Structure 1
């Protein structure tokens, strides 16, 4: 005989009454079984069951599996009102027993893929309650289970973590540093296998944590190591043709440079550049804009704090870069003057200048000395042209916006070229005669540094005025390397609530693709997440025979 509303109310009153005078074993158990059986009754019975099963969940541990199974049945009911009710009261299950927090959190995250706005809002509110009730278990469940689900579940989960959780994370983490550390550890684990947009999202999550403020130097050092390993671990080769890896490297550099400017050691990132990126067979397979970004990172790292061993490893590679980029003097006056990308040259010369202050022999030898002389002459000619161009531009009347922009570019070019000229002049001297005065690289004086760009550029070149080609009138200083390097160049996702097993039970990775139904009863049509019953059962028998699976 089907369970009625009256049966459920009577069972509720019996449990409440018996609870006042003390437990009476099987009598109370049968009353709770009656409430659970209501999950397969009429709509009103289901809604009552959705409220009362969580309320008494903690009193009947032997019926936990049966109760959770019934609640998850209600989560996939065709009646929107039933689903909204069970979602609202699911956090009460965690209140009664935090041992099931992992399973409840995992189920709620997967319910985020349902389509009705009202339902999604209810799921987010319930998920927030569960996380507040059991932070560690919930955070671990969300990262270790939900991120391994279908692509849509993964996307909805990351969206919840980056936006909704961000609203209350300060309150959550204020309960103890271990909660913030738990969250940080799970984000760091997800970095390596993240795609580019996920990587950027995870990076912003980490940078927003108090534990990674610049004053927490030990934490920041550990974070730097994690970022570097997320691009390529020690046993991995950095592939310059892997677009995602390259873009991760660019984003990683933009993220870490501000820390280096505040005195954090750049050893780990510098060693990565030296060992995996700078060797010619790797570096010159990158696109020109990407090469330029790497050279800027190199210059910023060299000017910061690092170990002596790392700078010694960098010295020969930087010398090779200089020789490769700067042409030797022309054999006769009829040769056309080479056109150089001045910011690119400045990055290389600045790096060489910093290294030479500690390892003088890196700037010695005929091959490099001849190029210093040629670069010195080219720089002088560039400065003369820039000065003349500035004079012509400043005479123009009226000074429209285009003219003002050209003046600004010319002034930036003048700073860059003066830097190159001054450093080259010093490096041309014999080692004992050199006086390495502090030279401020132009990209620091021309643009502020940002930990993360507001919007990632399509080709991820650094947003610096000095990175732009310097244009003066009709002439333009462009890149011309000694050799030209050839550049390499909606279905429906499965929707299930998976892994409904206990923490210490092995999990199944099966995805049920037949998981779509129309809303009926109390709701408008929409998709509903369907339960997958691939989890271990206890020895407790079910109280009812499940109805035929709805398709």
Structure 2
């Protein structure tokens, strides 16, 4: 066993030789034996290997294996020193980078944050030595390692470094390499990993062009079957997660027509079956999932070119609306004045916006006076609850500004206020004769997504709406229908559904694996 004293002697012999240090290969081999020494010897060995790694090319493999062994040492300080040394020994040796990056990626499973930071620093050093080589090692782990802790940390590392390192490291050639490798990884990514890898791609300049955005949208759409209805829980969550990511790449130049048509034909007609399938699979947030589907559809309408069979689409939307728009009770009956109806504001906003959009494609849809009359009665009743709820929200937000409005509770109230304002704006268009899509709104959930929007401005930017009423005779002219008055009922309590968000099913997570739980793969 090599002692600390002997290691110092060996080191001095090589150091004193200066230009002839390479002749002391025997002494260096003995230094490598220090990996079996005591704590002090092992720590010193890790330092000496990095100091003379390039001097003895014939000992390259043995030196790397010694460092790999020390990366699994029982002593944390030795592990950190060895990890740092791995980042150093690759300077000027690009051929070693993929192999070392592969090992370092596996070390990201460590529990100690200080050690994970050392791994990240060593990987940055490798990126600067040979970016493509380092990425080769990282993507090998993404493609072949099923450990979600390692994969997640590799993706977080990539995202952070793509954002922070210069284009000298992530030049065009490297960006294209990342895009190529990401396309191989995406089919096997889970929902959280999909979000991360798409965020990485979104940071690349080569992916911000129209061509790049189109390729990303196409890539994601190939991951789901757009010909089958959404009836299986796993299929539902995967499809929604994938198309939600694709939404980020649609624009006036990259059309969403294919996805919109899929949602009209395979999503909307199956809302009840979708919720039932999710509940049977143990997902208690089934209603939140279908709400996310409706939000996705509404968000993509702007970028669609055409709608096939718009009348069929409008029938599906109207049916879904009638399921959530309660019939007004007769005057004097329970429910009119006490706010007994359960008003699903977020769902109604999505569906009204979608129906409003479709009017442009089929203006004669409401030619049946009975259908229109029933629809308007429900809208008028819903509008009363919406306006009453707006009043409560304004009172809750009155006098608040600046940081006060940025609390989570007040952000939710602002979105709720935007939701009810949108609903009232859209409802008014359905009281034109015939109904017409004249108004333009910004969907409420975009208030939360648009980081550049002033929250304080959002609190004061909503207009008060006059009550929307309808006469009992549904055939009366629209102008008369807007007159009439009935007592406004009390706002519903705890009924706002805007707080529901799609979580993509059961969360993944758990702590990282401790050192020694499983050895890493070596070449």
1:50 aligns with one of 42, 46, 49:
46
Residue of 80, 97, 100 corresponding to 1:101: 97
Matches within 5 A, 1:112-131: 112-116=108-112, 118-131=114-127
Pick aligned residue for 1:305 from 303, 306, 311: 303
1:474 pairs with one of 490, 502, 520: 490
SS in 1 for 2:217: helix
Does structure 1 retain, via aligned residues, the 8 Å contact 2:162–2:170? no
Q: Which residue of 2 aligns with 1:423?
A: 430
Check if 1:370 corresponds to 2:360. no
1:225 to 196, 210, 218: 218
Task: Work out whether residues 14 and 31 of structure 1, in 8 Å CA contact, stay in contact via their aligned partners in 2.
Answer: no
**What is the CA–CA distance in structure 1 between the aligned matches of 2:262 and 2:342, rounded to whole Å?**
31
The answer to whether the 8 Å contact 1:379/1:417 transfers is no
| Aligned with 1:317 (options 286, 289, 313) | 313
Q: How many residues align?
A: 449
The equivalent of 1:153 in structure 2 is 150
Label 1:416 to 1:67 Cα distance change in 2 as closer, same or farther (>3 A). Answer: same
Write the distance in 1 (CA, Å) between the matches of 2:85 and 2:71. 11
In the aligned structure 2, how far is the partner of 1:210 from the partner of 1:142?
A: 21
Deviations 1:123-171 (A, max 9, x none): 33222211221211212322321671534434443444455x36633x2
- Contact 1:228-1:268 within 8 A present in 2 as well: no
Q: Report the secondary structure of 2:373's partner residue.
A: helix
Q: How far apart are residue 42 of structure 1 and its match?
A: 5.5
- Counterparts of 1:194 and 1:107, CA distance in 2: 21
Q: 1:179 aligns with which of 167, 171, 174?
A: 174
Alpha-carbon distance in structure 1 between the residues aligned to 2:212 and 2:242: 20
Query: 1:76: how far off?
Result: 2.5
Cα pair distance change 1:239/1:178, threshold 3 Å: farther
SS in 1 for 2:61: helix
Give the conservation status (yes or no) of the 8 Å contact 1:257–1:451: no
Q: How does 1:181-260 map to 2 (within 5 A)?
A: 181-187=176-182, 189-213=184-208, 216-229=209-222, 232-233=224-225, 238-239=230-231, 241-242=233-234, 246=237, 249=240, 253=244, 260=250
For residues 11 and 386 of structure 1, what CA distance do their matches in structure 2 show?
83
How far apart are residue 442 of structure 1 and its match? 6.0
State whether residues 386 and 491 of structure 2, in contact with CA within 8 Å, keep that contact through their aligned partners in structure 1: no
Q: Distance in 1 between matches of 2:381 and 2:511?
A: 62
1:237–1:276 contact (8 Å) kept in structure 2: yes
Distance 1:291 1:329 in 2: 19
CA distance in 1, matches of 2:130, 2:303: 42
- Which residue number in structure 2 is paired with residue 485 of structure 1? none
Q: Which residue of 1 aligns with 2:403?
A: none
Residue equivalent to 1:294:
293
1:340 positional shift: 6.3
Cα distance, 1:371–1:58 mapped onto 2, change above 3 Å:
farther
- In 2, Cα distance between the equivalents of 1:262 and 1:296? 19
Q: 1:260 to 1:183 in 2, by over 3 A?
A: closer
From 84, 90, 93, the equivalent of 2:86 is: 90
Q: Provide the secondary structure at the position in 2 that maps to 1:278.
A: helix
Q: 1:266 touches 1:305 (CA, 8 Å); kept in 2? A: yes
Per-residue CA distance 1:256-285 (angstroms, 9 max, x = gap): 657656664223432442454233265554
- Contact 2:310 2:362 (8 Å CA) reproduced: no
CA-based RMSD: 5.1
- Work out whether residues 258 and 450 of structure 1, in 8 Å CA contact, stay in contact via their aligned partners in 2: no
Counterpart in the other structure of 1:266: 256
Rounded to whole Å, the distance in 2 between the matches of 1:203 and 1:222 is: 12
Is 2:109–2:149's contact at 8 Å kept on the other side of the alignment?
yes
Query: Structure 1 residues 114, 16: closer, same or farther in 2, change over 3 A?
Result: farther
In 2: Cα distance, 1:41 partner to 1:114 partner = 24
CA-to-partner distance for each residue in 1:459-496, whole Å, 9 max, x for gaps? xxxxxx99xxx9965244979xxxxxxxx999987657
Query: Per-residue CA shift, 1:73-116, capped at 9, x if unaligned?
Result: 22233444443433222123322422221221222233344455
Q: Is the 8 A contact 1:106 1:141 kept in 2?
A: yes
Query: 1:414-437 CA distances to partner (integer Å, 9 max, x unpaired)?
Result: 652442342364556xxxxxxx55
Query: CA distance change for structure 1 residues 43 and 182 in 2, over 3 Å: closer, same or farther?
Result: same
- In structure 2, what is the equivalent of residue 67 of structure 1? 63
